[in-house]
Structure 1
Amino acid sequence: MTIYFNNMKHTIKKMNILKRIIFAVGLIIPTTIATAQSKAALTIGDTAPELKYAKWIKGTPVTKYEKDHLYVFEFWATWCGPCKAAMPHLSELAKKYEGKVTFTGVNIWEKTGDKPYESSLPAVTNFVKSVGDKMAYNVIADNNEQHMANKWMIAAGQNGIPATFLLKEGKIIWIGHPMKLDSIIELSIAGKYDMEAFKQEFNGSKVRTEAMMAKFKILDPMLKAVKAKEYTKVLAIIDTLDLSDQMIAMQANSAKITALYALKRETEAMSFSQGWIKSNNGFSGTVAGIIIGTEGLSRKSYLYAAELGNSALAQEGIVKPLVYHFIATAYDKAGDIKNAIISEEKALQTAKEALKEGKFIGSILDSTVTEFEAQLALYKKKL
């Protein structure tokens, strides 16, 4: 499995830098996993749950389901790279099937910490405005109860985004990845879609997903200790785990590195990290993110994070402007302002080029350029 520096958010702030870096470098689990693990009850052929939301951000509200009309509900988040990558395709489909299919993007799982979910509304609204016609369909945002996430996604056993629900006459006829949607719509319009066959396939997939989520329950004490910042306890718990399962081991290794750096056991942390990365270079992003998200480390550690960032530039699928910005942050923390400036200048240059060429839609915005310009100015003041 490869983990890329490809999913950064757009604003680094001191209080949420770890959150940003984690999304910058990619997640350990290859899909975006929800924390809820309740047993799925909603399935293909069921009546869709009620539509409840905090705000209808864009487009015309859906108040009823018209006969012989299809409705697409696409679940996404501003930090989700694959979600943003799918937006142009969904916009094309919305135009292609105008009058036959109504598309609505459903924003869920924004990272709000201890704040109510609706505190994310300004940022989500600004994001939708910034992408413009690249998101040429309806958009809603979940409410404080997270009704859409819980009653739709989790109820249907969907733990990752992007995820698409296709409805006909108020019933769910398909759930899947947005890139597979076009063919399903064509079959549905032509009256050739076999919902019962897909239902069997879908239910089988749900069983496998539930089994996987149950397997991860073993990590709950470790994750609870990480959240509580009880890092010595984290290490003790990891020592008791059976790490023969690759996915369990990846989560445990990430937590171990987090704990070691938090405890300022930097030599041990770096040695363990290097061994882990040697087994799979894709883990370099995770390690770099952990280092940058930890305050008070040595110059050597932050320079190591910058080194990992520079090595990631050769990987496919990365958003280079954000990686350069990440590297600049690492150099700044290391006290190497000269290289921080060089990296931030590259971040700014590549961001401008990306906007001009229409690359990295949803990841590089006008506000990204503004942010990089401001950060570059701050670095130059430190000289």
Structure 2
Amino acid sequence: MVLRMESPAPPIKVENWLRGEPLTTFQPGKVYIVEFWATWCGPCTAVMPHLVELQEKYKDSGLELLFVAAYEQAPTADEARTSLDAWLADKFSNLNYRIGFDSTGEMRKLWMDSSFSVGIPTSFVVDRDGHIAFIGPPMQLDDVLPKILNGSWRTSDEAKAADTERVDGGRREMREMTRRRALTEPILAKLWPAMKAEDWAKAVSAVEEAVAVMPDDLNFRALHADLLLHRLRNLQTGLPVMRQFARDAIDKNDEQWMEGALR
């Protein structure tokens, strides 16, 4: 079942509450922002202070904020939680809003996967009757949230059109991710052992196989140039690869590609 606007909000299933009072059910009459984020995600952490400002601005209208850390990266759940606790103590020591931690994948499955949301930060707004009113980037909340709070958003044509576009786009992205995974998994099975063994010739061979089937993958293109120039020190082959990488970055006029080429 697809999670979208008008769907009943899924349950909150987190392992631990790191900040704030535990939340077991959404209370009628309140509006909740459920924000999926991670400490390693720059846009996620950048938007946190603004979300806190929205909570303060609209708290008298019944708005409550809930952060869900469901994407922390560590060898074990205990290490992920310890790292997350340390990060919060350092960066947001006075943050008293609810922060739930989940490493089981249950929250990602119930909320992110079922709504075709493929990246973070992602905001879910739960309306006063416990139904989903909005799913999308938190940067859109400034415009959408007042309409949710006054009850005009869910009945609007704008909301319905935006939700349909979001679901259709999410389906396309997930299909592309599945296709890419099928292509990359056999290549990565050769690449990572070669990298670990510092067998740079084998690593280059694996990366070139990846570039041949996915020429627009920035990570593989950057790694290809890096291995040739900095590991094998093969200027004869590496410089033409680097030049093509730079040309493609300029043609794409893409900030991330430009950063990769400059690095």
- Shorter chain as denominator, the TM-score bin is 0.7 to 0.9
Q: Deviations over 1:220-275 (max 9, x none)?
A: 32233333336655544554557586633x2431342455478x312247525632
Matches of residues 1-383 of structure 1 in structure 2 within 5 Å?
A: 41-99=2-60, 100-112=62-74, 115-132=75-92, 135=95, 137-143=97-103, 145-168=104-127, 169-193=129-153, 194=156, 195-217=159-181, 218-229=183-194, 232=201, 234-240=203-209, 243=212, 247-248=216-217, 250-257=218-225, 259-260=227-228, 264-268=231-235, 271=239, 274-276=242-244, 278-279=246-247, 280=249, 282-283=256-257, 286=260, 308=263
- Residue 75 of structure 1 aligns to a residue whose secondary structure is strand
Q: 1:163, CA displacement in angstroms?
A: 0.8
The unaligned stretches of length 5 or more in structure 1 are 1-39, 289-307, 309-383
Q: Distance in 1 between the 2:170 and 2:90 partners?
A: 36
**Contact 2:187-2:210 within 8 A present in 1 as well:** no
The unaligned stretches of length 5 or more in structure 2 are 251-255
Q: Distance in 2 between the 1:242 and 1:253 partners?
A: 6
Q: 1:182 to 1:118 in 2, by over 3 A?
A: farther
| Structure 1 vs Structure 2 CA RMSD | 3.0
**Contact 1:103-1:137 within 8 A present in 2 as well:** yes
Q: Deviations over 1:284-305 (max 9, x none)?
A: 75479xxxxxxxxxxxxxxxxx
TM-score, normalised by the number of residues in structure 1: 0.56
1:318 matched to which residue of 2?
Answer: none
Q: Percent identity?
A: 23
- Residue 175 of structure 1 aligns to a residue whose secondary structure is strand
1:298 matched to which residue of 2?
Answer: none
Question: Higher mean Cα deviation, 63-72 or 83-92?
Answer: 63-72
**Contact 1:46-1:171 within 8 A present in 2 as well:** yes
TM-score, normalised by the number of residues in structure 2: 0.78
Q: 1:200, CA displacement in angstroms?
A: 1.7
- Residue 110 of structure 1 aligns to a residue whose secondary structure is coil
Q: Deviations over 1:278-322 (max 9, x none)?
A: 32375475479xxxxxxxxxxxxxxxxxxx4xxxxxxxxxxxxxx
Q: 1:241 to 1:55 in 2, by over 3 A?
A: closer
Q: Distance in 2 between the 1:44 and 1:224 partners?
A: 40
**Contact 2:242-2:261 within 8 A present in 1 as well:** no
Q: Distance in 2 between the 1:134 and 1:183 partners?
A: 27
Q: 1:278 to 1:200 in 2, by over 3 A?
A: closer
Q: Distance in 2 between the 1:270 and 1:135 partners?
A: 48
Q: Distance in 2 between the 1:96 and 1:72 partners?
A: 13
When the two structures are aligned, how many residues end up with a matched partner? 245
Q: 1:241 to 1:274 in 2, by over 3 A?
A: closer
Letter of the structure 2 residue corresponding to residue 108 of structure 1: A
